[in-house]
């Protein structure tokens, strides 16, 4: 029986070796990862997946998108900047890269990235509800200056690109940004919902984010902050035409971490340039309502530099610092919850509810050992999987745990040899969910 299993083992290992090794000379030899710092379903995710699908056709290896979300963009940009510079990880960067570090939330800046191409740029725009009294940006400014009530605006979270756009515009018009209440909402979609529900008076966001509500006549666009009018919305003036020199355009681009070998960088750059200029991608942008912003890598690098300065001026200004004063501080809610937790725990402890029910089986020495083994397995996986690769580490952990629980040797060998490669194929091959490749190159 064991002999048979060993033959299986040899066969599978040979397969693994054949499919994985000795291809490192040519690039790319294994799947690429695209890091998208925003959630599945959003605009950046759609752009990332479109690029990934086309890169995959051109490079001939799978290109998987990972949504490294959280922390308002800190997570994804940090992971992208710190990824191994081997050309197998690219990041779709967004303006948050140039916003977060000004607020001391991360050390990562645009200098940690090697920009390749800019793939899309949408100008900020001002929206009001259809029944709003304001017809022009000037009327909004007048209401901010002379209104009896403070105006409420939103568009996305506090300190986001649309907040900077709005605050910078007010500043350029000589109004302190803290004259308007910025309601910090999770994104442009909830901001639009809030505009409809009457919770805010003005929303600052980009046109594609409001497209359906615009065409439905539920909201009106007062002005765009780009340098030119939008082709599809020719009747919406730019702020510049109305006498303001404030412009702000949000952008998305593809970047590598610093230090990727030049040959690989050039290969990727060439492919990406062709994709971005290609008909298919242009069609995608047009149909999604996104505006193109064709910039080569030098132009993109310059945009990164300039926008970093522009955001810095707004975010560092005294008036913007004033906005940050909030009545309900970040630790109010945790304090309340912790207090309630302590009270409930005290009541439970006094009333006897905290006692362990007597019918529960007691832990045994062997049980504690096994629990420790399982916890250890998870730790080992988290520590070495990236290096070793999913298939190998999964086989080892599966084998060890099966042995520990006293499974028959035959099933131990069979399962730990067969299950990991099959699972890997299903997840990484069929479903395009990234699992670490590691030594076997799988």
- Where in 242-261 is the site for another protein (CB under 8 A)? none
Residue 261 vs 367, nearer CB to another protein:
367
Map residue 219 onto helix, strand or coil: strand
* Region binding another protein by CB under 8 A among candidate stretches 13-21, 120-128, 223-231, 429-437: 429-437
Q: Which of residues 28-67 bind another protein (CB under 8 A)?
A: 33, 39-42, 45-46, 49-50, 52-53, 65-67
- The residue whose two tokens read 């006692």 is 355
Q: Which of residues 140-199 bind another protein (CB under 8 A)?
A: 150, 152, 157-159, 181, 183-186, 189-190, 192-194, 196-199
| Range 212-218 contact pairs with CB under 8 angstroms and sequence separation of 24 or more | 217/130, 218/129, 218/130
Q: Which of 240, 381, 418, 439 binds another protein (CB under 8 A)?
A: 381
Q: Which of 143, 401, 418, 439 binds another protein (CB under 8 A)?
A: 401
Residue 303 vs 397, nearer CB to another protein:
397
Q: Which of 15, 70, 136, 242 binds another protein (CB under 8 A)?
A: 70
Residue 1 vs 40, nearer CB to another protein:
40
CA 350 – CA 38 distance, rounded (Å)? 46
CA 273 – CA 101 distance, rounded (Å)? 29
DSSP 63-78: EEEEE---GGGHHHHH
Q: Check binding of 231 to another protein (CB under 8 A).
A: no
* Region binding another protein by CB under 8 A among candidate stretches 6-14, 18-26, 299-307, 325-333: 325-333
DSSP 385-427: HHHH-HHHHHHHHHHHHHHHTT--HHHHHHHHHHHHHHHHIII
Q: How far apart are CB 22 and another protein at their closest, in Å?
A: 26
Could you list the beta-strand ranges (E) of 165-294.
181-182, 202-206, 219-224, 249-257
Residue 136 vs 316, nearer CB to another protein:
316
Of 79, 68, 71, the residue nearest 39 (C-alpha): 68
Q: Which of 235, 279, 329, 350 binds another protein (CB under 8 A)?
A: 329
Q: Which of 59, 105, 172, 175 binds another protein (CB under 8 A)?
A: 105
* Region binding another protein by CB under 8 A among candidate stretches 114-122, 259-267, 294-302, 413-421: 413-421
* Region binding another protein by CB under 8 A among candidate stretches 115-123, 171-179, 259-267, 369-377: 369-377
Q: Which of 15, 344, 409, 422 binds another protein (CB under 8 A)?
A: 344
Q: How far apart are CB 288 and another protein at their closest, in Å?
A: 5
CA 405 – CA 415 distance, rounded (Å)? 14
Phi, psi of 240 (to 5 degrees): -60, -45
Q: Which of 26, 318, 328, 350 binds another protein (CB under 8 A)?
A: 328
Of 24, 17, 36, the residue nearest 61 (C-alpha): 24
Q: How far apart are CB 253 and another protein at their closest, in Å?
A: 20
Number of residues that bind another protein (CB under 8 A): 119
* Region binding another protein by CB under 8 A among candidate stretches 5-13, 164-172, 256-264, 433-441: 433-441
Q: How far apart are CB 296 and another protein at their closest, in Å?
A: 26
Q: Check binding of 348 to another protein (CB under 8 A).
A: yes
Q: Is the peptide bond before 28 cis (omega within 30 degrees of 0)?
A: yes
Residue 79 vs 252, nearer CB to another protein:
79
Q: Tell me 353's DSSP state.
A: T
Cβ atoms 257, 249 nearer than 8 A: no
Q: Check binding of 109 to another protein (CB under 8 A).
A: no
CA 185 – CA 187 distance, rounded (Å)? 6
| b/e per residue 101-120 (b: at least 16 CB within 10 A) | bbeeebebbbebbbbbbbbb
């Amino acid at each position: 029986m064991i002999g048979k299993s060993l033959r299986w083992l040899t066969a599978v290992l040979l397969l693994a070796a054949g499919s994985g090794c000795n291809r490192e000379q040519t690039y790319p030899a294994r799947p690429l990862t695209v890091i998208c710092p925003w959630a599945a379903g959003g605009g950046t995710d759609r752009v990332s997946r479109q690029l990934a699908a086309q890169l995959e056709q051109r490079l001939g290896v799978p290109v998987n998108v990972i949504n490294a979300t959280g922390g308002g963009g800190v997570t994804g940009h940090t992971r992208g900047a710190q990824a191994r510079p081997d050309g197998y990880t690219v990041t779709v960067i967004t303006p948050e890269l140039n916003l977060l570090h000004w607020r001391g939330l991360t050390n990562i800046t645009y200098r940690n990235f090697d920009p390749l191409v800019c793939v899309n740029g949408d100008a900020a725009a001002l929206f009001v509800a259809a029944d709003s009294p304001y017809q022009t940006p000037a009327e909004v400014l007048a209401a901010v200056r002379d209104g009896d009530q403070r105006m409420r605006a939103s568009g996305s979270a506090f300190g986001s690109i649309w907040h900077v756009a709005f605050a910078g515009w007010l500043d350029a018009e000589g109004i302190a940004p803290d004259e308007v209440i910025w309601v910090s909402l999770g994104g442009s979609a909830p901001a639009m919902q809030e505009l409809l529900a009457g919770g805010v008076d003005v929303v600052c966001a980009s046109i594609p984010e409001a497209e359906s509500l615009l065409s439905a006549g539920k909201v009106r666009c007062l002005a765009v902050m780009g340098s030119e009018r939008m082709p599809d919305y020719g009747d919406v003036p730019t702020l510049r035409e109305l006498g303001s020199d404030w412009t702000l355009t949000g952008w998305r681009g593809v970047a590598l971490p610093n230090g990727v070998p030049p040959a690989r960088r050039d290969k990727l750059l060439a492919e990406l340039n062709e994709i971005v200029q290609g008909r298919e991608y242009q069609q995608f942008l047009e149909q999604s309502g996104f505006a193109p912003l064709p910039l080569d890598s030098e132009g993109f690098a310059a945009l990164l530099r300039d926008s970093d300065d522009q955001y810095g001026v707004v975010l560092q200004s005294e008036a913007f610092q004033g906005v940050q004063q909030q009545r309900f501080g970040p630790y109010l809610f945790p304090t309340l919850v912790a207090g309630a937790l302590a009270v409930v725990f005290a009541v439970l402890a006094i009333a006897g509810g905290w006692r362990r029910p007597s019918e529960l089986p007691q832990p045994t020495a062997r049980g504690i050992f096994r629990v420790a083994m399982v916890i250890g397995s998870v730790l080992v996986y988290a520590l070495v999987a990236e290096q070793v690769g999913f298939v190998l580490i999964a086989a080892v952990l599966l084998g060890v745990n099966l042995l520990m629980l006293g499974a028959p040797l035959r099933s131990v060998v069979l399962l730990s040899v067969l299950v990991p490669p099959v699972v890997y194929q299903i997840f990484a091959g069929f479903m395009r969910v990234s699992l670490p490749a590691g030594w076997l190159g799988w």
